[in-house]
Chains A and B, each alone.
Chain A
Amino acid sequence: MTDTLQIRPEAAAAPKPAIPLPTAAARAVTAAGAVLTAAAAFLSWTYSSQFPGDLTVTGYPGGLQWITFTGGLLTLLYLLVGYGTPGLRGLAPGGAEGTTVILAVGAAATTWFTLIAISVELGGLANLTTGGWIAGIASLLAVVGALGLPRDGQHPRGHGLGVLLYPGKRPDLRPARPLHAAVEVVAVLLTLAAALGVFAYGVDTSYPELFAGFLILAGFAAWALNRSGDFGRLGEIMQRHRVLASVGAFVAAGLFPFTQTSSNAEANANLGVSILIFAATALGLNIVVGLAGLLDLGYVAFLGVGAYTAALVSGAAGTAFNVQIPFWAAALLGAAVSGIFGVLLGAPTLRVRGDYLAIVTLGFGEIFRIVVQNLDGTSGPNVTNGAIGISNVPDLNIFGFDFGSAHDFGPFSIGRFANYFELMLLFTAIIVLVFARSADSRIGRAWVAIREDETAATAMGINGFRFKLLAFALGATLAGLAGTVFVHVNYSIVPDTFQFAGPTPPNSAFLLAAVVIGGMGTVSGPLVGASLFFLLQAKLSFLHDYQLLLFGITLILFMRFRPEGIIPNRRRQLEFHESQTEGGQEGPTPELRTAEA
Chain B
Amino acid sequence: MTDTTTATVDNAPAPGTPLLQASNVVMRFGGLTAVNDVSLTVNSGEIIGLIGPNGAGKTTFFNCLTGLYVPTEGTVTYQGKTLPPKPHKVTQAGMARTFQNIRLFHNMTVLENVLVGRHTRTKEGLISAILRGPGYRREEAESRAKAMEYLDFVGLANKAGTLARNLPYGEQRKLEVARALASEPGLLLLDEPTAGMNPQETRATEELVFAVRDRGVAVLVIEHDMRFIFNLCDRVAVLVQGQKLVEGDAATVQGDERVVAAYLGTPYEGNADSTTPEENQ
**Chain A: residues with CB nearer than 8 A to chain B?**
1, 433-434, 437-438, 441-446, 448-449, 452-453, 455-464, 470, 474, 571-572, 574-575, 578, 581-582, 585-590, 592-593, 595-596
CA distance A405 to B163 in the complex (A): 53
CA distance A590 to B126 in the complex (A): 41
**Chain A residue, CB-CB nearest to B179:** A460
Comparing B29-37, B52-60, B194-202, B213-221, the segment that makes contact with chain A is B194-202
CB distance from A35 to the nearest CB of B (A): 46
Contact check, B170 vs A459: say whether CB atoms are below 8 A apart.
Answer: no
Contact of B170 among A441, A443, A588 (CB under 8 A): A588
Contact check, A452 vs B170: say whether CB atoms are below 8 A apart.
Answer: no
9 contacts between A and B (CB under 8 A): A434-B130, A437-B130, A441-B129, A443-B125, A448-B108, A452-B105, A459-B91, A461-B119, A587-B167
CA distance A457 to B88 in the complex (A): 8
Contact of B105 among A1, A449, A474 (CB under 8 A): A449
Instruction: Find chain B residues with CB under 8 A from A578 CB.
Output: 165
Contact check, A589 vs B129: say whether CB atoms are below 8 A apart.
Answer: no
Contact of B129 among A1, A442, A452, A571 (CB under 8 A): A442
Instruction: Find chain A residues with CB under 8 A from B108 CB.
Output: 445, 448-449, 452, 571
Contact check, A588 vs B168: say whether CB atoms are below 8 A apart.
Answer: yes
A-B contact count (CB 8 A): 138
CA distance A581 to B92 in the complex (A): 37
Contact check, B200 vs A461: say whether CB atoms are below 8 A apart.
Answer: no
Q: Is B66 an interface residue (CB 8 A)?
A: yes
Contact check, A470 vs B168: say whether CB atoms are below 8 A apart.
Answer: no
Contact of B201 among A437, A586, A589 (CB under 8 A): A589
**Chain B residue, CB-CB nearest to A586:** B168
Contact check, B198 vs A460: say whether CB atoms are below 8 A apart.
Answer: no
Contact of A470 among B97, B115, B122, B126 (CB under 8 A): B126
Instruction: Find chain A residues with CB under 8 A from B112 CB.
Output: 445, 448
Q: Which residues 232-269 in B have Cβ within 8 Å of A in the complex?
A: none
Contact of A445 among B96, B107, B115, B168 (CB under 8 A): B115
CA distance A292 to B126 in the complex (A): 14
Contact check, A588 vs B120: say whether CB atoms are below 8 A apart.
Answer: no
CA distance A575 to B105 in the complex (A): 12
Instruction: Find chain B residues with CB under 8 A from A444 CB.
Output: 129
Contact check, B169 vs A589: say whether CB atoms are below 8 A apart.
Answer: yes
Instruction: Find chain B residues with CB under 8 A from A571 CB.
Output: 107-108, 163
Contact check, A460 vs B132: say whether CB atoms are below 8 A apart.
Answer: no
Instruction: Find chain B residues with CB under 8 A from A470 CB.
Output: 126
CA distance A131 to B56 in the complex (A): 84
Contact check, B170 vs A589: say whether CB atoms are below 8 A apart.
Answer: yes
Q: Which residues 89-136 in B have Cβ within 8 Å of A in the complex?
A: 91-92, 96-97, 99, 103-108, 112, 115-120, 122, 124-126, 129-130, 132, 136
Q: Is B171 an interface residue (CB 8 A)?
A: yes
Contact check, A588 vs B200: say whether CB atoms are below 8 A apart.
Answer: yes
| A589 and B198 contact, Cβ closer than 8 Å, known pairs A437-B130, A571-B107 | yes
Contact check, A448 vs B105: say whether CB atoms are below 8 A apart.
Answer: yes
Contact check, A438 vs B116: say whether CB atoms are below 8 A apart.
Answer: no
CA distance A102 to B97 in the complex (A): 52
Q: Is B166 an interface residue (CB 8 A)?
A: yes
Contact check, B88 vs A462: say whether CB atoms are below 8 A apart.
Answer: yes
| A589 and B197 contact, Cβ closer than 8 Å, known pairs A441-B129, A445-B112, A445-B115 | yes
Other than the given A460-B88, A585-B166, A587-B169, 6 more pairs (CB < 8 A) read A452-B106, A453-B106, A460-B179, A575-B165, A582-B165, A589-B168
CA distance A449 to B92 in the complex (A): 17
CA distance A168 to B143 in the complex (A): 43
CB distance from A569 to the nearest CB of B (A): 9
Q: Is B206 an interface residue (CB 8 A)?
A: no
Contact check, A588 vs B201: say whether CB atoms are below 8 A apart.
Answer: yes
CA distance A593 to B165 in the complex (A): 11
Contact check, A461 vs B198: say whether CB atoms are below 8 A apart.
Answer: no
CB distance from B202 to the nearest CB of A (A): 11
Q: Is B186 an interface residue (CB 8 A)?
A: no
Q: Is B183 an interface residue (CB 8 A)?
A: yes
CA distance A463 to B99 in the complex (A): 18
Instruction: Find chain A residues with CB under 8 A from B97 CB.
Output: 459
Instruction: Find chain B residues with CB under 8 A from A572 CB.
Output: 107
Interface centre among A458, A459, A464, A585 (most CB of B within 10 A): A459
Instruction: Find chain A residues with CB under 8 A from B106 CB.
Output: 452-453, 575
Contact of A460 among B91, B167, B195 (CB under 8 A): B91
CA distance A455 to B102 in the complex (A): 12
Contact check, A593 vs B88: say whether CB atoms are below 8 A apart.
Answer: no
| A437 and B169 contact, Cβ closer than 8 Å, known pairs A459-B66, A461-B120 | no
CA distance A446 to B126 in the complex (A): 11
CA distance A223 to B99 in the complex (A): 43
Instruction: Find chain A residues with CB under 8 A from B278 CB.
Output: none
Contact check, A460 vs B117: say whether CB atoms are below 8 A apart.
Answer: yes
| A457 and B165 contact, Cβ closer than 8 Å, known pairs A437-B130, A588-B200, A592-B198 | no
CA distance A595 to B169 in the complex (A): 10
Contact check, B103 vs A453: say whether CB atoms are below 8 A apart.
Answer: yes
CB distance from A273 to the nearest CB of B (A): 25
Contact check, A592 vs B116: say whether CB atoms are below 8 A apart.
Answer: no
**Chain A residue, CB-CB nearest to B106:** A452
The 7 closest A-B pairs by CB, nearest first: A587-B168, A461-B120, A461-B91, A441-B129, A456-B103, A452-B105, A571-B107
Instruction: Find chain B residues with CB under 8 A from A590 CB.
Output: 168
Instruction: Find chain B residues with CB under 8 A from A457 CB.
Output: 105, 116
Q: Is B87 an interface residue (CB 8 A)?
A: yes
Instruction: Find chain A residues with CB under 8 A from B180 CB.
Output: 460
Instruction: Find chain B residues with CB under 8 A from A585 CB.
Output: 166, 168
Contact check, A456 vs B88: say whether CB atoms are below 8 A apart.
Answer: no
Instruction: Find chain A residues with CB under 8 A from B149 CB.
Output: none
**Chain B residue, CB-CB nearest to A464:** B88
Contact check, A461 vs B88: say whether CB atoms are below 8 A apart.
Answer: yes
Instruction: Find chain A residues with CB under 8 A from B163 CB.
Output: 571, 574
CA distance A443 to B130 in the complex (A): 10
CA distance A446 to B68 in the complex (A): 19
Contact check, B126 vs A443: say whether CB atoms are below 8 A apart.
Answer: yes
**Chain B residue, CB-CB nearest to A575:** B107
| A452 and B88 contact, Cβ closer than 8 Å, known pairs A443-B126, A460-B179, A588-B170 | no
Instruction: Find chain A residues with CB under 8 A from B104 CB.
Output: 453, 456
Instruction: Find chain B residues with CB under 8 A from A445 CB.
Output: 108, 112, 115-116, 119
CB distance from B229 to the nearest CB of A (A): 20
